[in-house]
Amino acid sequence: MKFISKSILETYALAEQVAKKLSGGEIITLEGDLGVGKTTFTKGLARALEVKEEILSPTFIMMRQYKGRLKIYHYDLYRIEDEEELEELGIKENLYDTGAVSVIEWNKFKDLPKKPIRIKIERIDDNTRSFEIE
């Protein structure tokens, strides 16, 4: 499925549509360049899943957890070199939580417990993004 977003509000609306289909145990990988809107999409997803906390990028801590209708594990693996480093951090076990949705920016996991929902985001211009969801 392809979607063109011309604003943050349209990105939130897309994230809400994705959230409506989630029941727990899903893994979402977000792909795209720096600043393309991966965390913005995650903010919209969290909002739709009734998370009340402010969503912050987990760039320096690798993973943040939020509670809403479903828990959200929000990973940012940009600074991780490889899956071996992930094993040392011990954060993979959260991917098996059937009461949560795992959202992974800059995925480095080679062996995910299930096929992820893959969302590729591309910048068209300063305000416009293309989302491709598989």
**Domain boundary assignment for the chain:** 2-133
Q: Which amino acid is at 92?
A: K
Max Cα separation, the chain?
A: 40
What's the topology of domain 2-133? Rossmann fold (3.40.50)
pLDDT tens digits for the chain (134 residues)? 999 999 999 999 999 999 999 999 999 999 999 999 999 999 999 999 999 999 998 878 889 999 999 999 999 999 888 778 887 887 888 999 999 999 999 999 888 999 999 999 999 999 999 999 99
Q: What is the CA radius of gyration of the chain?
A: 14
